[in-house]
A and B are shown apart, each in its own frame.
Chain A
Amino acid sequence: MESDKRRGPRQEVRERILRATYDCVGLFGLSKTTIEDAARHAGVSRATVYRYFPGGRDELMKEVVTWEYWRFFMRLYEEIRSCDSLEELMERALMLAHKAITEHEVLQRLVATEPEVLLHTLTTESAGTQELIAAFLKPYLEMHGLNPRVDVDEAADFLARMVLSYISAPGRWDLADREQVSKLVRAELLAGVVQR
C-alpha cells in the first residue's frame, strides 16, 4: 500500500476506511453497506471503524459522500488546471463535470434512492466549494483580460455560482454538445467578465 509521509497514520487509516466504504457502496449500494463490510474491506476491526467514526454508520456514510464529493472536484481540477485560456477552462470544466456526474454510478444511485445523504454534503460543502472555485478562478481572471470595469472578486464569485448551477442542473443547455457549451460560456459566463 502506498503511504504518504506527510500525513499521519491516523489520516491514512481514515482514508483507507473511507475508500473501502466507497468501494462497498459501489458494489452493494449505500443502504446495503454495513460497518462490517467497510471494516472487512479496509482490513480493520469493527471497533476501529467506530473509533474513527463514533457516529457509526450514519456518520461514515455522510463522510464517504463528502470524501467523494471533494475527490470529484480534485479530479476536475487536475483535468482543467493546464488550460491556456479562460474560455477553454470554462468549456472543459462544464463538459467534464457534466459527463462525470452523468456517468457517476454511485452518485446517480444516491440521487435516486438516498438523496438525504447527498443533501447533507451539499448543505455543508456548497459554500466552501463556491469559495474555492472563485479563489481558483481569480488569477485566471487577472491574467486573461478581465474587463477593467469589473471587480475581480465579484466576477470570480459570479462565475463560481454559475458553474455550480450549470453543473448540477444544465436546464435548457446540452452540456455534452461542444457548440452549445461554447455559446453558453461566451454568453452567459464570460460576456460581461472579459474584455471584448
Chain B
Amino acid sequence: MAPVELRVVGRDLQSAPLDAESPSTLSSRPTLSSFSTLSSPGDGDCGSARLSRIGGEERSSTRIKIVDAALECIARRGIQKTRVEEIARVAGLSRATLYRAFPGGKDDVLEAVVGTEVARLFAALGAAMGEAHDLEDVLVAGISEASRWINDHDALSYVMENEPQYILPHLSFSKMDQLLSTASGFAAPFFMRWLDSEQALRVAEWAIRIVISYTGFGDPPFDLGSPEEARHLVKTFILPGVLALKV
C-alpha cells in the first residue's frame, strides 16, 4: 500500500522544472536509471535528473543524512521492508522534511543511495589507485580496494544475501555490459600512465569483471579484499595477460 501512496506524492511535486541533464552527474547514470526501473516498475526514469539539481549545502547535507539513514535501515532489514518513516526516524528528521528532499519518496531515496555509494566507491578507488607507482601496484590497489569496499558494505552484503533480485540483474546480460562500460570508463585513466587508451579500457574492464566475479559469485578461493591475495592473482593471471594484450 505504502509505495502507491508515495508515488502519488512524488508525481504531485514533480512539476518543478528540472535542470538540463548535466553530463557530469557521474558517469554512472545508466546504472542509476536501470536501478530505479527495477525498484519501481512503471515509475521509472524521472528520478535521475533530479539528482542534478541538489540545492545549497544545507539541502545536500539533509540528503546525505537521509542516504546514510537509508543505508543503515537496508543493512538491517533490506530494501523491501525499509519504509520512508523509518528512514526519517533514523535520520532524526520529520517525514515532511524527507519528502521535501526526496519528493519521490522511497524510490527517490534509493536512487540517491546508489548514486552516493557509487561516488564514494569511486572516490575510495581514486585515492587508492592514484598512489600506485607501477602497473602491478595500480591493479592490486584497485582490485583490493574495490573488493574490500564491496565485502565490508553492510547494506550491499545484506541485499546480496537476502534480496539478490535487486543486484543480480545488473551483473548479467546487457545491464552488466552497461556497468562494465561505466566502471571501466572511470578506471581506465588510472592505467593510462602505462598503457595506451585502448589497452587501458580493456584492462580496466577485465579488472572490474574479476572483482565482480570474485565478490559476487560462488565460493572464491581467495579474498581479493586482501592486498596480498589480490597481488597473487594480479601476478599469476593478470600481468601475463596484459603483456599479451600489448602485442
Residues of A within 8 A of B (CB): 111, 115-116, 119, 122-123, 126-127, 130-131, 149-150, 153-155, 157-158, 161-162, 164-166, 168-172, 183, 186-189, 191-193, 196
Assuming A191-B244, A192-B238, is B177 touching A169 (CB within 8 A)?
A: yes
CB of B164 closer than 8 Å to a CB of A: yes
Complex contact B236–A119 (CB within 8 A): no
Chosen A-B contacts, 10 in total, with CB atoms closer than 8 Å, are A119-B169, A162-B213, A165-B213, A168-B171, A171-B181, A189-B241, A191-B240, A191-B241, A192-B237, A193-B237
* Contact residues of B: prevailing secondary structure: helix
A161-B217, A192-B240 given as contacts; is B177 within 8 A of A123 (CB)? no
In the complex formed, the residue of B with least CB distance to A194 is B240
Cβ contact within 8 Å between B244 and A168: no
Beta-carbon nearest neighbor of B203 in chain A: A188
Q: A157-B221, A169-B173, A172-B201 are in contact. Are A192 and B209 (CB under 8 A)?
A: no
Write out the residue numbers on chain B whose beta carbons fall within 8 Å of the beta carbon of A164. 213, 217
Q: How far is the CA of A164 from the CA of B214 in the complex (A)?
A: 12
B165 at the interface (CB under 8 A from A): yes
For window 156-180 of chain B, which residues contact chain A by CB distance below 8 Å? Answer: 164-165, 168-169, 171-174, 176-177, 180
Indicate whether B4 reaches chain A with its CB closer than 8 angstroms: no
The residue on A at minimum CB distance from B234 is A192
Q: Are B241 and A192 in contact (CB under 8 A)?
A: yes
User: Within the assembled complex, what's the spacing in Å between the Cα atoms of A128 and B120?
Assistant: 33
Q: B241 to A171, Cβ gap below 8 A?
A: no
- Of all A-B residue pairs in the complex, the 9 with the closest CB atoms, nearest first, are A169-B176, A187-B244, A192-B237, A191-B240, A161-B213, A191-B241, A192-B240, A127-B218, A191-B244
- State whether B214 touches A172 (Cβ < 8 A): no
Does B177 contact A170, Cβ atoms closer than 8 Å?
Answer: yes
Q: B residues touching A (Cβ–Cβ < 8 Å)?
A: 164-165, 168-169, 171-174, 176-177, 180-181, 184, 201-202, 205-206, 209-210, 212-214, 217-222, 233, 236-245
**Bound complex: CA A111 to CA B151 (Å):** 28
Distance from A195 Cβ to chain B, minimum over Cβ atoms (Å): 11
In the assembled complex, which residues on chain B have CB atoms less than 8 Å from the CB atom of A192?
A: 236-241
Tell me if A126 and B241 are in contact (CB < 8 A): no
A165→B171 CA distance, assembly (Å): 9
- Please, which residues of chain A bring their CB within 8 A of the CB of B173? 111, 168-169
Query: CA of A113 to CA of B123 in the docked complex: distance in angstroms?
Result: 35
A115 to B205, CA, bound (A): 25
Question: How far, in whole Å, are A153 and B218 apart by their CA atoms in the complex?
Answer: 14
Q: How far is the CA of A162 from the CA of B213 in the complex (A)?
A: 7
CA distance A169 to B170 in the complex (A): 10
Across-interface contacts of B221 in A (CB, < 8 A): 153-154, 157
Minimum distance in angstroms from B76 CB to a CB of chain A: 22
Chain B residues, Cβ within 8 Å of A123: 164, 168
CB of A184, distance to nearest CB on chain B (Å)? 9
Interface contacts beyond A119-B165, A126-B218, A154-B236: sample of 10 additional A-B pairs, CB < 8 Å, sorted by A: A111-B174, A122-B168, A127-B217, A130-B218, A165-B209, A165-B212, A169-B174, A171-B184, A171-B205, A188-B245
